[in-house]
Chain A
Amino acid sequence: MSAATSKSGGLSHPVVWVAGLAWGLLAATRWAVVMAAQEGSHSAVIWHWPPWWLPVSVGLAVWLVQILTACWQHNWLARQGLEGPRTRRMAGLAWLPSLALFLVPMAEFLPPLYGGSLASLALAREAWPLAALAVAGAVFIQTRLAAPELIRKREEQQRRWLAPVVFILALALFAGVGARLTQVSNQVGKFMGGDEPQYLFNAHSLAVDHDLDLAEEIFLRENSYYLDPAKVIGGHGGWTKDGRWISKHRPGLPALMAPFYAWGLYLGQGPRKTATVCLWLLAAWMVTEVFWLGRLFTRREGPALLGAAGAALAMPGLIYSNLAFPEIAAAAFAVSAFRLMRSAEQGQWGLLFLAGLFTAYLPWFHERFAVLCLVLGAYFLARMHWRSLKGLAAFALPCLVSAWLLVTYFMWLYGKPFPGQEIHAQGAYLNPRGFWEGLSGIWVDAGEGMLTYGAIWLAALAGLFWLVRRRFSDGFWCLAMAGAVYVVAGLFADWFGGINPPSRYLVAAVPFLAVGLAAGAHWGPPRYMLFVVVLGALSLAASFWVMHYPSAVYGHKVVLGSGLQFPLIDNLLPAFIFNYKVPKVNADLARIWMLLAFVALVAMNLGNQRFGPGRSLVGMLLALLLVAGAGVAADRIGAGVLNYRNPAQRVVLWNRLSDLPRGGAVWRVGTDGVEPKALMELPLPPARYQHGAAKTAPDDPQALDISAGGKPGLFVWGQYLALPPGRYRATAVLSSPYAGPEQVGWLDLSENKGQSTLMSRKLTGEELSQPVGLEFELKRWATNLEFRVGSTGLAPLRVRAMNITRLEP
């Protein structure tokens, strides 16, 4: 067959053309900006389109690219020596999964048209890149499976230099994260929260006084080496009977950090920064251990590298590599002890001694890690290392000595061999609000869940089951280690880990889950890698987003959805801490997403390595329908996708409207007269931005009072908005008992943190009987924009409400 015939022959299958239509339609319909509105039981969806030629030309261009890809695909198969009608048919059928893409525009257009739930519209608007990625991956996989004899035999490789490279790369990554956090914290305040300063305080005491008594450090306020000197901390401590002030945080992590911290003091640099180097090393060591363990199980480097990459790049490992909590250290020690026991031959007492030391050290990070020690002890027995007396002594002796020291330490501190429940923040260990909250929330909570910020861990868990199936002992014990961490954390009343970044208490499970990625990549079906790619892309996006805006993951905020067109994450997922007033709704929402996760786990453990584009299409359709179905169910149970409570979401929408080329059509579906007003108004509650002598009004928590007689000055400022170009109106509702002609205050708009004033208006007492405002037009992006209110001090002022409205789309 000639090359020309071969090229045209690849396009002769009708599936190629229908698939091209699906891709083109998807691309053409991405350009609309969609706004949904609801008034009572009436709703409307408004599509703002660019000029018609833009979506049409983009759609045609994507179709052309698809046709070219199909030509290349057929030629590739022909070059492999596969020719003839059967090859043409297989090449064409490989495009069959693309037909699932028709579901995306259908999910956007049909439900509003027939008055159905808008969840599928919202999901399609937000998640279409993932659907496109999944479909493209499915076509690629089917093309490869069309020529199964070409799939390269997997080689077993053990290159010695690769582990150091993994370590160095991980170290560089975590140093980069540290640089980013330093850069951001210099701008908006330090990120240290919760227990971090207390751990550093203990490290200071160990470095300077070589003891754990924090009294001298408190008197000299030596927390000022890494905190604002106005702040006083006490290490969350209490007095012992012999008059020492001892922290309730264990000395394991401070002892590791102390030498690094001391270098900071010695050099006159920030000791927190040098202490963080210790955390980078621990985190990089953990990643390297994942690589070693993955290679040990699969005997291949590729899957092992995937596991290591997951541990390093996905949340929570990524950010906890820089936070002074014992989590990352416990993860490194636990996985290292595990690997040493797995690698050690009978009687290799040196390795077992090292494993014993790491195991023995674990409860010194926190007593909850004693559970991991028990699992590791059971693993030691299951590996039959006890049959050698030297091996038994090497492992057990450090553990017994450590246990005895720990009991002695607790007896000295608390008068009992193990701390009671009273030391926990809520005075109890078990969650009084029920176990489901923590056991599900730790995975799927909008603000605190591991899968919300690192969806890749679902693929890791699926891979872990492949490990159980193919190497039962290895899989069982990895699952036992990860499960022990999960159960201990999930049952805890503070399962969310305080105000710190999400899934803090699952960090110690990260290496054992990450090994699942290696196992899944090695033994799983092709769809498993597709799953990894899609969830990996989602996880990387979340990681990048958190690095862009790290303060968002502190303080129980639910803002992951603010980067999206609809606040999906806020409204369709449970938010146990943020939405604590509706526990039943949260529990039901969690059930939906946990069920979906379970279905995904089962699906990833099925499948084979045979060409089956029809099966792939059905799978893809089922996946999309399942996600959409879960979204619709969550929409009905929870607050619903139209509950716009996140101000940042509006700015994202305004930005898209600014970017939309003018001159296109506007389509409306739904009730006439229903307008998306809520999406065009940005409320700026005055009480949130009050300064100086202004006080929150006693009868209205959103309003504030400014008393008379003070010096003239600004009392409301600090919104620091980033607004896209467009026309706006800033409105304030003020009142005053004085209604005369004298000036009582002023409004102004400034940008760049007050460096330049865009506009200002004087306010007399007469003008305050109705809302006062400033209309303005931004020709370019305005950064750190503030809408400020000042008072002359002539008369008392009450600032009741403030907002900024976008005047045109």
Chain B
Amino acid sequence: MRLSSLQPTPQRQGLPPWLITVVVVVAAVILLWPTLQGRELRRMAAQHRVEANWRPDYRLLPRLGLAHQKSVAQGGELSREQRDGLWAELEAYRGSYPVFFWLELAWLEARAGDDQRARQALKRAQADNPRLYKDMTRTRLWDPWRERYGLPPR
């Protein structure tokens, strides 16, 4: 037996390693399950809010979240009816900083291929807050349409 100058530690006892491994893996999968849902999680969270009639003055937020997730999941496709609903919600919105929501709506319109309404939403965003409009259109999310819509360069 080789002697060490370091402090000895007690012999390991207890559960077999394979059992510990199984328990750890199962626990990790359970813990990570919602995270593994990815963008679907955005839909679930927004859906919870819609069902609970969360904050009627800010009900636009979960609806935008649902539309965003749907647009991403369906490659940009979003029904005209749903987009009209978002326009109506945003026109009625009286909360703070609508510029972000106009930009989001413009992005959804652009992804849906409706250039005219996308430009219209961008104009509303610019009119609401020119500084934030200029800053927030620097996101890479706008790269496909940057030149077409004459957005500020990154």
Contact = CB atoms under 8 A, between A and B. Distances in A.
A384 B61 CA distance: 58
Interface stretch (A260-268, A634-642, A705-713): A260-268
A383 B4 CA distance: 12
Contacts of A384: 6
A425 interface: no
Interface of A: 158, 206-210, 213, 215-216, 218-222, 224-225, 229-232, 239, 241-245, 258-260, 262-263, 265-268, 296, 343-346, 383-384
A263 B45 contact: no
B52 to A, nearest CB: 7
B32 A266 contact: no
Contacts of B142: 243
B55 to A, nearest CB: 6
Identify which of A206, A216, A231, A345 gathers the most chain B CB atoms within 10 Å of its CB.
A216
A54 to B, nearest CB: 57
A218 B100 contact: yes
B37 A232 contact: no
13 contacts: A207-B35, A207-B41, A210-B35, A218-B136, A219-B101, A221-B101, A229-B95, A231-B96, A243-B142, A259-B34, A268-B51, A345-B8, A384-B6
A80 to B, nearest CB: 37
B107 A219 contact: yes
A257 to B, nearest CB: 11
Contacts of B80: none
Given A213-B139, A230-B96, 13 more contacts: A215-B136, A220-B64, A221-B97, A222-B42, A232-B100, A244-B139, A259-B31, A259-B34, A262-B35, A266-B41, A268-B45, A268-B52, A343-B9
A221 B103 CA distance: 12
Interface in B26-41: 31-35, 37-39, 41
A343 B48 CA distance: 48
Given A208-B41, A263-B34, A243 B96 contact: no
Nearest to A263: B34
A158 B48 CA distance: 49
B87 to A, nearest CB: 16
B90 interface: no
Contacts of B68: 216, 219-220
A258 B33 CA distance: 11
B9 A345 contact: yes
The size class of the interface chain B forms with chain A is 35 or more
B139 A243 contact: yes
B10 interface: yes
B104 interface: yes
A421 B26 CA distance: 44
Question: Which 3 A-B residue pairings sit nearest by Cβ, starting from the closest?
Answer: A268-B48, A243-B140, A266-B34
Contact of B139 (A222, A245, A345): A245
A274 to B, nearest CB: 9
A296 B7 CA distance: 10
Contact of A239 (B6, B38, B138): B138
Contact of B6 (A215, A244, A268, A345): A345
Nearest to B45: A265
Contacts of A259: 31-32, 34-35
A230 B39 contact: no
A384 B42 CA distance: 50
B136 A219 contact: yes
Contacts of B101: 219, 221
A395 to B, nearest CB: 15
Nearest to A348: B9
Contacts of A221: 61, 97, 100-101
B92 interface: no
B50 to A, nearest CB: 11
Contacts of B51: 268
B139 to A, nearest CB: 4
Contact of B104 (A209, A219, A241): A219
A220 B61 contact: yes
A227 to B, nearest CB: 12
Contacts of A158: 10
Interface string B44-63: 11001101100100100100
A210 B38 contact: yes
A209 B39 contact: yes
Identify which of B4, B6, B10, B39 gathers the most chain A CB atoms within 10 Å of its CB.
B6
Interface string B101-140: 1011001000000000000000000000000000010111
B15 interface: no
A239 to B, nearest CB: 5
Contacts of A268: 44-45, 48-49, 51-52
A475 to B, nearest CB: 15
A266 B44 contact: yes
Contacts of A232: 96-97, 100
A386 to B, nearest CB: 13
B65 A222 contact: yes
A343 B42 CA distance: 44
B94 to A, nearest CB: 11
Contacts of A267: 48
Given A224-B61, A229-B58, A265 B104 contact: no
B141 interface: yes
Contacts of B8: 345
B111 to A, nearest CB: 13
Contact of B61 (A207, A213, A229, A258): A229
A222 B38 CA distance: 15
A265 B6 contact: no
Nearest to A278: B31
B44 A265 contact: yes
Contacts of A224: 55, 58, 61
B141 A215 contact: yes
A225 B45 contact: yes
A207 B45 CA distance: 12
A213 B101 CA distance: 18
A806 B1 CA distance: 82
A376 to B, nearest CB: 17
A239 B153 CA distance: 13
Contacts of B34: 207, 259, 262-263, 265-266
Nearest to B35: A262
A265 B100 contact: no
B20 to A, nearest CB: 13
Nearest to A260: B31
Nearest to A243: B140
Interface in B75-104: 95-97, 100-101, 103-104
Contacts of B143: 243
Contacts of A225: 45
Contacts of A215: 136, 139-141
A345 to B, nearest CB: 5
A392 to B, nearest CB: 15
